[in-house]
Chains A and B, each alone.
Chain A
Amino acid sequence: NAGVTQTPKFQVLKTGQSMTLQCAQDMNHEYMSWYRQDPGMGLRLIHYSVGAGITDQGEVPNGYNVSRSTTEDFPLRLLSAAPSQTSVYFCASSRLTGIGGENTIYFGEGSWLTVV
């Protein structure tokens, strides 16, 4: 009963390095998203996807890329890491809902990223 799995859990990067945060879900959810969590700011949406081959920007997309080649996987790429990207990153998934519909969103355990 894995749910949403994120790797790595902890990572330290140097400024300018690139890396990919992995996210996988085994619930056949159409909707997947990435949030970042910063103190006092709650969670802010970076990118989301409503199905394989479809992605879109959230509130804070700059500096990040995503792709959705399969239903299960939704990796987040940092192209050139900056200290401002030091944060905790959460992947989430749920069934896709239309207008008036509701589905609980499930979160991964988080990835703690430090950029020095």
Chain B
Amino acid sequence: AQSVAQPEDQVNVAEGNPLTVKCTYSVSGNPYLFWYVQYPNRGLQFLLKYITGDNLVKGSYGFEAEFNKSQTSFHLKKPSALVSDSALYFCAVRDQRIGGNMLTFGGGTRLMVKP
């Protein structure tokens, strides 16, 4: 079975400060890891993914995520937050050993960036 935990329901950060949204995962094999963002009343937009290779993955809108196999984590980061980054963020995982496309999602973390 695969699972994802996002331990923080909400993260508050001031504009211009760095932000981190945490994600830990559990899979039997090697993971594919994803971050999606959801703006109010909108669908999920793909931000970035880890498949293999460099542990630091760069994605859209200046976001990046660091894959840490020993800590089974895939935290989302951004050096300088913008008010427009305020949204709901989802981490998702899929076991590479399993064919198909079913993702398991975390519960989501609401990011609030204050001016």
Q: Which residues of A contact B92 (CB under 8 A)?
A: 43
Q: Which residues of B contact A107 (CB under 8 A)?
A: 36, 43-45
Choose, from A60-68, A70-78, A79-87, A91-99, the stretch at the interface: A91-99
Q: Contacts of B108 on A, CB cut-off 8 Å?
A: 40, 42
**Residue ranges of A at the interface with B (Cβ–Cβ < 8 Å):** 4, 6, 31, 33, 35, 40-45, 48, 50, 58, 90, 94, 96-110, 112
**How many angstroms between the C-alpha atoms of A102 and B49 in the bound complex?**
10
Q: Is the interface of B mostly helix, strand, loop or mixed?
A: loop
Report Cα–Cα, A75/B93, bound state, in Å. 25
With a cutoff of 8 Å between Cβ atoms, the chain A residues found around residue B103 in the complex are 43, 105
The answer to whether A102 and B51 have CB atoms under 8 Å apart is: yes
Q: Closest chain A residue to B32 by CB distance?
A: A102
Binding site for A on B (CB under 8 A): 4, 6, 9, 32, 34, 36, 41-46, 49, 51, 90, 92, 94, 96-103, 105-108
- Which residue of the partner chain B has the closest CB to A29? B101
- Please tell me which one of the listed residues A43, A44, A97, A110 contacts residue B100 in the complex, with CB atoms under 8 A apart: A97
Contacts of B43 in A (CB 8 A): 4, 6, 90, 107-110
